[in-house]
Structure formats: C-alpha cells, structure tokens
Structure 1
Amino acid sequence: MGFLHQELNLKCLLLLLNLNFCTLNVSAETQTTTSEALALYSISSYWQNKPTSWVGSDPCGNNWVGLNCSNLHIKKIILPGLNIKGTLSEDIQNLTELVHLDLSSNRGLGGQIPRTIGNLVKLRRLILFGCSFSGSIPPELGMLKSLIFLSVGSNRLNGSIPREIGNLTSLFFFDITWNNISGSIPISNGINLGLDLLTECQHLHFGNNNLSGSIPAELFHSEMILDHVLFDHNQFTGRIPPTLGLVTTITALRLDRNRLTEAVPSNLNNLTILGELQINDNQLSGPLPNLTGMNALAYVDMSNNLFDQSHIPPWFSTLMNLTTLKLNNLLISGVLPTSLFSIPSMQAVQLRFNLINGTLDLGSELSTNLTLVDVRENRIQTMANVPNRDNLHIQLDGNFYCNQPGASAQYCNVPPESNPSSYVTPSPNCGNLVCPSDQQESPKCSCSYPLEGKLVFRFIAFSNIYTNFTYYTALEIALYKTFQQFQLPAIPILRNPKMDIYNYFDIDLSMFPSNTDRFSQAEVAQLTNLFTNTTISQPDAFGPYYLDAVPYPTFQGKYLLFPNFLVPAIVGGFAAAALIVGLLTFALCQRRKARKAKELSRRFGVWTTSGSGSDIPQLKGSRLFTFGELKKCTNNFAEASILGSGGYGKVYRGLLDDGKLVAVKRAQEGSLQGGQEFKTEIEMLSRVHHRNLVSLVGFCSDQNEQILVYEYIPNGTLRDSLSGKSGVYLDWKNRLRVALGAARGLTYLHELANPRIIHRDVKSNNILLDHHLNAKVSDFGLCKPLRDDKKGCITTQVKGTMGYLDPEYYTTQHLTEKSDVYSFGVVLLEIVTARKPLERGRYVVGDVRNAISRSRDLQGLNELLDPGICHNGSLPGIKRYIDLALKCVEEFSSERPRMSEVAKEIENIMVLAGMNPNIASETTSASFGAANKSFSCDDDASFEYSGEPYSLRIVLPK
C-alpha cells in the first residue's frame, strides 16, 4: 500500500475512467452523452460543497440539481448561491451544447476564468457575478458569437477590457462592475475590434473599476440602442463625448465620480427619455448644462463640479417628473422659483453651497411628496409660505436668515439626521412564537430558514427612501408575482432601505419558504438565478439590480470528492478501477486533512496536550489565567468595572493579586470575534513589542471562555477624547503627538515586525491614550501577517469597519499595508474635525475634499474643524497635515505614502509647531473636562491661509 502515499494527477484518473467508458456498453436508459458526463465529473471534482444530488452515472437521468438537458446533451448549468468552493476546470469546454452557465453568488469559487470557455460556441448566457475569479477577462470570450448576456461583475478581475468583446454583435447585457479593470475602452479601427461594434447592446455596466483615459467619442453613434450607460467610480478624464447625444435611447447615465473636465456637450438635452442623470463629483467646467426638454428626468445630480457662476436656469421648474434635484457647490445665484416646489413628484431639493438669495418661498401649491429642502450655506434672507408639516425638513444653516433676530431654530439648528422609519414589510402578529437561534419567524407564523441577501440597485429614481413605502410595496408585489410565475414557494420580506457611499441603493431581502421550514438546493439556485438573470420586472422607480446573497447554510448530506459514478451495468473491471480511485481519493483526503491540521497547529505557537481536547497556546511573555482568577480580579465581572463594550463583548477593569491594574476583554456568546480572531490576537500581541502598541498580559480559554488581559490604559480611546466622553481635552499639539504615536506603532507592524503585519482595523476606537497621552494601537483580532509575499499583498475576505475601510481593498479583496494607511488617513481627518467617519449620511473624507475644492484653499474648512483645537487661535502646520491626510485616503493604494513616510511627515509638522517629535510628553499636556478649555471657536470665525510656513490663523468675529 506504499503507493497510497504518492500524489496522483487527476487527469490520469479521468483518462482511466474515459478508457473504461470507451470499452463498455452504456445502459440504454442513459440520458447524458458520455463525453459530457465525464466533463461534468471532472468539473465537479475541483469543487467543494457540490450539490448533494450529484451522484450516479448519468447527470441528466439522475436529475442532478441545476442541470437542464435535452437530447442527451447538457444545455444549462444553473448553480448560483450554493456556496460552491474551488475553481472552474478547463474541461468546461467539453460541454459543447451548453447555452446557459450561471455560477454566480458563490464567493468561494475563484481562480482564473478558463480560456477554454471560448470553445462553447452555442453559449448565450455567461453569468459569473459575485464570485472570486481573478486574472484578466479572457479574450477568447470574443469567440462566443451567440452570447447575449455577459456578467462577470463583483469579482477580483484586473487587466483591460479585451477588444475581442467587440466581436459579440448579439450582446445585450455587459456587466463588469466591482472589479479592478483598468486601461481604456477599446474602439475598432478597421483592423482591430472594439466596443463600438456592440450595436445590439443595451446595458454597459462598468462602474467601480479603474478604467482611465477619455471616454471615446467613437463608442457612441446613432446605430446604438443603449439603455443604461453606467461608468461611475472610475478614472475617466477628458470631456464627455458629444456623440453621447446621438444615442437617444439612453434612460440612465452615470458618469459620476470620475475626473472628467471641459464643458458638458450642448446636445445632452437630445436625451429626451433620460430618467436619471448623475455627472456629479467631476471637474466639469463651462456653463451649467441646459436640461430643457429632458422631460423624463426624475433624478439629477450635477454637484461638485467647476461650472461657471450662473443664475437659476429656467428649466428648474419645467421638468415635471423630477423627484430629486442635487446641485450642491456650483455657485448658482438668484431666487428660487416657487414653481420648483410645486412639481407633483418632487421629493428632495438640495442646493447647498451656492449663492442663492432673496426669499425662500415654497408657495401655496407645495408638493405633498416633498420631504427635504436643503439650501444651507447660501444667502437667503427671508422665508415665506412655509407649511407646518412634520415630514418636511428645511435646512437653512449658513444663510443670512439665521443671523437675524427671530430666526427659527427649527430651520437653522438642524438636529442630527436619523432614519425616520426604516421600512419593514408588514407581517402578522404571531403572538409568543419563539424560534431557535438559527431560524427566524416567517410571515406564516412558523420558524424557518430564509434565503437572505442584500438587493443592490445601481440607481433609483426617488429620494425619500425611508418614508416612500408605496415603492417598496410595488417591489414586493413584483417579487411575489415572479416567484408565483416560476412556481417557487417563497415569500419576500424587505427591510432597512439605505443609500451606500457609492450612491447605490441597498435593501435587505429575506425570502421565506412558504410550504416547509427550508428551501431545497434546487429552490435556492432557482431563486438566486431570478436575480442574476434579471428576470424580475421591477417597478420603474428601481434601476438595474443584483442580489448579494448570503450562503444558505442548512443543506443536509455529505459532499464527496468523487461521486458514485458506477452503475450495476458496468463490468467488474470498471468497478475495480473505481474502487482504486476511491481508495486513492480517501488516502489523499486524509493526507490533506492531516497536513492542514499540522499547518494550523503551527500558526499559534506551542500547544498543550493536557486535558481533553486542550487547545491553548503557550506563548512567551503571556500568562495563562484561570477563569476564577479573572472573575476575582474584576469583582465577578461587576457592572461598575466595565470600561467599554463592543460587538465582541465587554472590557472590565481588573486588579491582579500583585496590585497591577489590567483591562480584561471578555468575549460574549455569539461574539463577532470568533476563535480564529481570538487566537490571532494572542499570537500577534505576544510577538510584537513597541511602546505604541498595547501589551498583552495574558489570556484565558478556561470553561469555554475567550478572555484577553491587557495592560491598563487609563485615558480611554481617542474617539472618547474627541467626542468629549472621556473628559480628556486634546489641544492641537497633543493631537499631533497622538497621531505620531499611532503612526509609529503601525510603522513597526508594517516594516519591523517579523513577519510584517497588517492591522486591518485601524480606527480611533482602537487607539488608546495612556497617563501621558501617548498613543497605543490596540485590538489585533483582524490582523493579517505578510509572510513570504514579496508584493506585500494578500487576497482575503474583506473585514474592517465601515468608514475606515479602504475602498480598493473592499473592491478587489486585495489587502496591503496601504489599506492601513487609508484607514489612518481617515483617523487623521477625524482628529482635526472630531467627526465620526460616517455620520448622518456624510463621509468626512468627502466633506473635507469638497470644502477645499469649493474654496480652492483652507477657507472651506471653517465649518469642519473641531473648535476644541482652537486653543490659542493658531494651528501651525495645518495645511501640511490636511495634505498628508488626503494623500493617505487616495482612492488607489499606489498613490498613498507608506506608513513610515506618514510618521516622518507628522514629525516635520510637529517641528513647524515648535515641538520636539522625540520627546514623549511636554508640559503642554492635556487638560480634563470642558471647563478647562480657555477658548472655543465661534461659529462665525473665519480662517486665513497665508502659505508658508503652513499655518492657519483663526480670525474671530468682532
């Protein structure tokens, strides 16, 4: 049996099976061509979590889940949302009759898209959305001339768009959203192919990539029938091509968040059926676009561009289908016409940071749908015809009106925004029904396992997402009717609508089984396919969508690496070959399991073997506590000992027998920090030692507890200091010192630790302040070591905290040290603004960028800087500080500095501020309590920037 220890090539085994098939008579009842059965067998051998029904010698005859067969041939493979893991084999090319391949929403399915797919010349639909495929888009896809639907979005693809795609003249839908595709859009030139040849294509979804160069004018011409052109969140430069006005079929145009310049083409208003226009956050110049005649427009956003100063345009009150008008930061002047607010469908008017003056008159025929009028930072003096309506929010901060006696605080002192009523599908009252922890209460008043996910719309034609329940009811009806049409026993539940930072609309979707307590694998695949295949006809208010599905965890049965491919009709020789294959497979599986277990055991130091199933690391310098010891030192985990809490559990102050104060972090049941994170934090903290990193005293895994014991840091978190919660007041110099300390701690992790470490959760709540306000980086549960990767890049599941999360990491799932740099850049902005990164729908990075862009210098920071740093009226080095923070939060990691460079620049800024970066603490230590603040920036204070030496002077109002 020594040969069992040899690695065998899978291809050899398949060849053996193929030879057996060639020499045997196959049962007359076989419904699958032998070559296709073998190909499918090979494909599935590269998968884990293959469907449980995939057993037997005849895929079509044995009713394998997800297959559709005809005339002995496999025609469709539809397996979305089944949590399949592995790679897609090149043997896919042998399914020569395949017309539909959908493997979407299987996040564990990755590797490169096999080039051999190009041999499937009959393929009409290729749907690989929401997987983890990497590498480039194969140019061989251009051989699939029958293809009408190509969706490879939400993967990890890079490289450029193959110009061979231009050969797909029947293509209707082309989606590469949420990848890292770069380069320019290919155009034909008589010799080479290009996307301008896709005359039948109606959907070009290219958002959230790294496409660059100009948008070629040749891409658009009168022969095209485009419906959706979604090029948002890329790096396009140059002008908007005037040829866009030739494609009068377009109903949705998103060019927002690029680097487009020059004037908007004057023929844009040829797009008379355009429903959504987003060209915001570019560098467009020239006159404000004339939208006269674009009567189908419902959603318009042209904010944050460089248009010439203009008066209120006449088209403001002529577009009678408008629901949303966003024209922030555009230097628009004049008096708003009353008719703008009487448009029946109007829901939100946002005209912040303009030069609007006179009287804000809402008129006597105000739209009943209007919920928001945001005209902050203008020159409005008076108000008229303002109704007393609870659902109407008028915001006038920063106008002359608010400086006058008798001004209404209701309009001038806007409270923090909150979701007035987050929508949830109405459900019956099920009384005292209590479900097990792994099930949920269904609309049928029973406990069941729903199929869950996030329904993401790439645009939406209304604004009041929290109160306009009519649209959600219409969507629910559309979903329910679709489920009935396809005879799927599912009941949809919608909840928690919201707009994300990419201006995509998200709503949580739960689909409950209506007849049993769980869906079958076939039903999960069918339900998920409804969304990946864009079958559901949603109401007009909703744009193109996708379902970000959560893996369905409740399938029963075991997954075998090799299915039972033998039937009684096969002779003994074939059975013997199969037996050998089974033995070899079992041996290889056992070997892999042993190797994996051995590798896992090496990851956490030396392990004890005492006791039953003990799994405790013995790490140098760390003490192993019993649960009883920690219970005693925290006074039985008393409420009075609590220092803080989070998703993991609570942190308690403890006093050890030797008189040493410690912080005891105890994970609660169901904690977000699992066993892997617990062990990771023990290993990391035991390995690294630096004055700006929190020290691990010990840990406890006694009685199924997960407890970490740290050194006690008395002054709490940086976030608590900035919010005033801790009572610790930080002036400008102390904030610089805190920033430097944190930067040095992260520099140690990135460059000096062995192996190098990426923190992955840098945020103000994870930066603690000791007695002398020295910063100490904490919470290493999400850390990732960079072992032998010379590129310093790991492909890993995205983890971190929203608001601090690197968008490139979020998009590509490629983690580098620059991801920590991005998060630290957010912390730098948080330090000077005292604002949370994401608060009331506002992102501090965007606010700072817009403020500087608006004023072309630091004047725009007037309203953003925390008054608490204006202690002596001067902020030396502030310009270099802001420049550094914005470099750290560049969208692409290649444009960000290294953490050591960040630390060095903070040292330079401290020198400008008259500080010595190498002194741990100075006499200008922090004070405690608001009473100790000798000065607070007045709301009417202004800022003057005088250039070198990069200082900002606060000019107080007289």
Structure 2
Amino acid sequence: MWNNITGSIPPEIGYLSKLVQLSLSGNKLSGVLDPSLGNLSSLNRFQIDENNISGPIPSSFQFLSNLVHFHMNNNSLNGSIPPELGRLPMLNHFLFDNNQLSGDIPGELSNISTLLILQLDNNQLSGSIPSSFQDFSRTNLTKLSLRNCGLNGTIPDLSGLSTLVYLDLSNNQLTGPLPSNLSQTVRTIDLSINQLDGEIPAGLYELRQMELLRLQNNSLDGVVRAELLSHDSFTNEESVFIMDFRNNNFSDLIPGALLAVPNITLQLQGNPGCNASQNVSAYCNVQNDYNVSTPLPLMPVPAGCSDDTCDRTRNQELNYGLLEFGLCQCAYPINVGYRLKSPSFAIYQPYADALQQYLASRLFINQYQVNVSDFSWIEGPRLYVNLKVFPPNGSVEFNTSEVSRLYSQFATFNISANRTFGPHEILFIFLGFPYNVSIGATPASAGGLKAGAIAGIVIGVAAFTAVTAISILYIAGKRWGFFSAVGSRAGTARRHKRIKVDGVQDFTFKEMMKATNNFDSTLQVGQGGYGRVYRGTLPDGRIVAIKRAEEDSLQGGKEFLTELEILSRLHHRNLVSLIGFCDDEGEQMLIYEFMENGTLRDHLNATSKSPLGFARRIQIALGSAKGILYLHTEANPPLIHRDIKATNILLDQKLAPKVADFGLSKLAPAPELEGAAAGQVEMTLVKGTPGYIDPEYFLSHKLTDRSDVYSFGVVLLELLTGQHPISKGKNLVREAYMAYEAGMILSVVDPSMGPYPAQCLEPFVHLAFQCCMDETDSRPSMAEVVRELERIWSMLPGESSSSIDNSTASMDTKSVPPKASLPYNPYLSFDMDGGNLVSGTIPSIIPR
C-alpha cells in the first residue's frame, strides 16, 4: 500500500489459493479486475481502494467465501453491481463508494447476513432503494450510506433494522414521506437534498441517541413539534444533537424544553415560518452552528510544564495524557497516521476519548499512552487522526520488543474492528529518534494525505528493519489468527451441523425476537465483550437472560461453540446455569437463568440502594470461590476462567452468588487440589479485563489456575473497599497495600457495609493480598482460598459453621507481601502515591 506501483493486478495472483490478505491501496494501478481473482477462497481482506482501476466487478467474486473486508472505493469501476455478491457468506464491510457504477442496486445484497457496513456513495446508480433492504433486519447492519447515487422512489420500511446507527441517503431524488419507527440505536440521519415531503413523523423526534438529523433542502411542511423531543443525557461537553431543517416549507414551531439545552441546535433558515411565526424566527439566524472540525480543547498544562521542556530537536514531546493526573513528562512517541474509513458517526469530538480508549485496549496499553494530537474530516467522509503512542509513565522510550509489537499490530491490521469506528487504515508509521527505524518522513509531511507515496516508503522500509528475528516469529503467530473473531460468527452458523446438547434447549431466532420484544432496548440489562444481554420471557413464562453475540465481540463462532459445550457440562450451585441457545439465521445467543439482583459490582457502587453488609460480602466471596474451585478441580474437563471480575459474579433473588461468563475459559492441564503448581497453558494473546489480569500471565503469556486466583484477589479488595480496580489512574491493589503499610487499612474499608468484627477483617485483608502476590507460586490455590473464607465465616458472631461445607481446616496464613513484591501490571494505569484511597475518616468498628 501507498507506493507508486503501476500497471494492472496480475491475474496469476488468482492461483494463490492460501492468500489471506491482498492490500494494494493508494497506488497507481490501472486496468481491470481479472475474474481469476475470484479463486482466492481463503482471502479475508481485499483492498484496492484509491487506485485507477476500471471495468466491471467480476461476478466470480461471489466465490470469495472467506472475505470479510471488501474495499474497492475511489477507483473507476463501472458497470452494474453483480447480484451474485449477495452470496458472500462472511462479509462485514462493503465499501464501493466513489466509482462509476451504474444500474440498480441489487436487492440480493440484503442476503449477506454478516454485513455491518454498506457504502455506495457517489456512483451513477439508478432506480430505487430495493424494498428487500427491509430484510437487513436479519443482519446487524450498522451503517447504510447511499449518498449521491441518483436514486429515486420512496424510502423503504427500515424499521426492522434493529442495529442501525448511521443512515445517509442524501443528495438523491427520493420522494414521499420520511421514514418512521427507526431503531433507537440510530445516531446519524442525513436525508438532505431530496424531494421528500409531508410532516416529520413523531418517531424521529423520539430517537433518544440522535447526534445529527439533517433534513434540509426538501419539501417538508407542517409544524416542527419540538415538544415531542426526547433525548438521553449527554455524556460529555462535546456531545451534541444538531437538527438541520433549513430550506423546507415549515410554517411554525411548537417549542419544547429540550431546545433550551446548550448541546442542542435547531436550524430553520429558509422556511416560510421565519417570516410568519415568532417561534420559528428565533431559530432562523442560528449563530452557534456546530463546526465538525472544531479542534478538541487542550488539557490545561500545570505551571512550569510545557513542550519547551522537551527536546523537540530529537522528537521528544509532552505526553498530554498524563496532564490529567498532574504529571509533566516528556517522552519519545511513535507517530502513526491513522484513518477511519467508514466510522458510524459524523461528529468526532464526542468520540475522542472513546477512540483513545478503544485503541489503548486493542494495543494492550494504558489509555494515557494514546493521544490524538489533531484530526480532520476528508472526502468520504473519512476521519484522519494524527496518533501519538507514548511509553508508559516513568519511561522515556519504548524498548525494542515493544516497538516491534506495536508496529506489527498497526502494519498488519491486527487491531480488531469495532462497530463504532469501523475499518481503518495506516497511512504512515514514523519511528524517529531514539528508535531510528524510519527516516525520510515526518508527521508534518506525512500527515497530509497527499503524501501517500512517502508514507508507503516509510512502511516498506520499516517493515524490514524494525522487526528482529524474535519479533518476526511473534508477528507470524499473530498473523495466522488475525481477524478470526470477526468472521467466525457467520462462518460457524453456516459450517457446523446443527447442535444437539442434552438438557439444553435449542431456540430459533424468531423465538428470541418474541422473547425480547424484537430486542427492545428497554429490556437490555447489560453489555460485555461478547455482546448485549437482554431480559427475556420464554413461552412457558420463565424469565431468562439472553446474551446476543456481536460481530465485533472478542468471541466468534469457535468461542460460541466452546462456551456452549463447556456450559452444558457445568453444574454447580455457584455457577450460572445454561438453559438454552440460539444458532439460527447467522445469530448466536446463549440463554441463562436470570439473576434478579444483577452483578456484584452493581451492589458495590456508591449509588447502590442496597449496600452489602460485611457478613453478606464474606458469604458472596465464599460462594464465588467455591464456583471457581469447581471449575479448577471438578469440572470435566477442568477450566481456567480467565475473566474473574465483579461484573461476572451475579446475585440471585436471595443474593447467592453465581459465577458467569465462561467465554474466555481455557482448558486447564490437570490442576491439583492441594495447591501444587498447576500446569501452564501457553497463550499467544493475553485476554481478560484490565485491572484483573494476572501480571505474570500478562508478561509471560503463561496461564495457570493461579491467574484466576489473582483476579479473585482483586474482587476481594473490591468487596473490602467498594472501589473499582482502576479508578482515576489509581491501581486498587497498590493503593490498598499502601494504606495497609501506612497503618491506615481501615481508611479504605467501604463505610457502606456497616459494622464488622475486627477479628474477621484482618484475615480477610491478608487473604486478598496473598491472592494478589506478584509471583504465581506465592499465591494460594482456590482450595486454600475456600478453606480460609470458611474459617473467616465461622468466626462471624452469630454465624454457624454448619451453614457451610464441613471442610473448614484453616490455611497457614502467610505474611502480607513486602512492597517490593507487589504486582506490576502493565495493563493497569500508572502508580500514584497516597491519593483518595488513603485519606478519609477511619470508620468505627462495632462488634456483632
């Protein structure tokens, strides 16, 4: 990509039957696409965008059975879109905008059950939007963009598109009424520059997450009913809701309270009501028109801290991500030209923090290490950001292996896709001093998108010089599995035989639709890495929790099958029970028993209306530990959970705990009950939740059952303090230990849990710190953890030891680890001394 390659794409490439990626973007290629390229049945990514390729799209491309990313935008392709492309079984992104395609849009495209983005803007199409597009209700379509395509006719019924976020049908010749009853997921609607008429339907006023509603330059009439407006709370100061209704035939406005909210802008210039109604005229000269290119506000710089303190002549810069924590640090960043090819939003500012958080999580670094210094919207619209990746706090530069790892993740597209941010591309990677890997390009020169050739040379040179022999092996291992999660969901649905599991019911997609009222957003009770969780009602009246997988989740088809097979064999009173599953119409869902009292985390938050007492917290810890112990020692086969956290411990009607979410579980190599070191599982990619991940597992990629013990230790500290594992840059494990070392452990105890006996608190604290030991072998086994919690339970005044299992032998309580052995987790935010956790009033201890 991004070189000066000329000529045509050789048809002989079609013989490369195992080719996984063909990325030729940003060159000077011409000629036509040979039908033989349709033989690339292993191809996952096919990118030839921004070239001069012409001619038709071969119908043989229907045989690209593993294709996920299909990017052919910004060429000179002509002819009609082959309807056979509707047979592509795994396609996520269909980007053919800015070509010379003609003819009707084939309705068969709605048969692509895995499709997330359909973008055909700026072509020479004709006819109407196919009525079959309402069949996208069977997919998870996020973005439908058909701008400036010469389309006519009316807008079909799109009310069934339950996951639609972005709809752009602007600059066509569409007639008839506006669409109504769109999904509450919609945030951007652009229907401007058409011939639409009639009044605005009530459903458009009631879209609670809207950010941009553009209806200008149509023939709409009637009254703008602002009193019908409803909207969710805005998440940050940059959040907006812009309604552009200019140049229509609106006669009047019924005011509404939401129009006074500063985040909301209404524009009515060019309507007859501007001269006839006082209500309308107030919005006919709006001065605060939102500029989508407005720079983001800079973080305030502490006194004595500025870029001038950095050695700019050697590429050293101030890490603005650390300013939020009052730290002034100069370091050497890696500069990346990063472009979102089809984001599901039209205004970037509200998503600035989310983008940095998303990239940090995908790169396995802290959020403060990722900084977007500037951004710009370019034709597409596509979003370009100048990305700076800084070393962690306390380090001035990355080490060689970390440079190689980060480089490989960017250069090989090994940053998994996201429903909001969509597909991306790298325009350049600049590794200046002290990395001394690439030369000849700077962020200033490469930041302009016209410097594609220079950027390509940078990537080409760096690809061969940045990576050492060891890191090449690492990259190769990563490469074999890259993007597997994205395509596996639909692939599984089509490839495996229908599953039959004893004792587990098989539901259809229609049954799940009925159980959740078409996945009504008001029935959503949670969302995790796997997907959204809904409260559903089965035909027999049972209330269940339905986990609906998403394409951009960490788990795909393989993980779905693994979790299903594992869960069907797990039976313990402290594990969430599997009731059934759905594997139908490209959908994958797991149906569990419904836990009325939500997650443990819900009851530890400061806003909880039902805080847990000390005895209840011990009971929850003990029950959870027994569930994990079952996984380690009694399950067949034994399992390592890998994602123990407070949100994966659910509470039933009686507040009894049950461990949930086994999507990241790995088979455990015969762990032993009495705490001997269990076998190790070598992992290519570390998975889990930041704040809970075992630091030794993170650094060595060696997973053991003691990795779950570490995560459970963090949960114990949450039970003790009520705090999150990571909060405002603070690491709970370190903060709690610092309080202990200072003799102020009582200052971190959660006051909302009320009185507690001192004789029980001390061993509970000791146990939590033991579980969080840095060295794996220094942690107790889950069997030891259970026995110690049983001992603490038996010490509670008024609690009978007969209420628990008879195994009550106490463990040999080790001393609290010295400060030097505290965990250093690269996943966690940087360390800060003292701070909020150490200060405050020491709560009184009232014996029970």
TM-score scaled by structure 1?
Answer: 0.42
If you compute each CA radius of gyration, which structure gives the higher value, 1 or 2? 1
TM-score scaled by structure 2?
Answer: 0.47
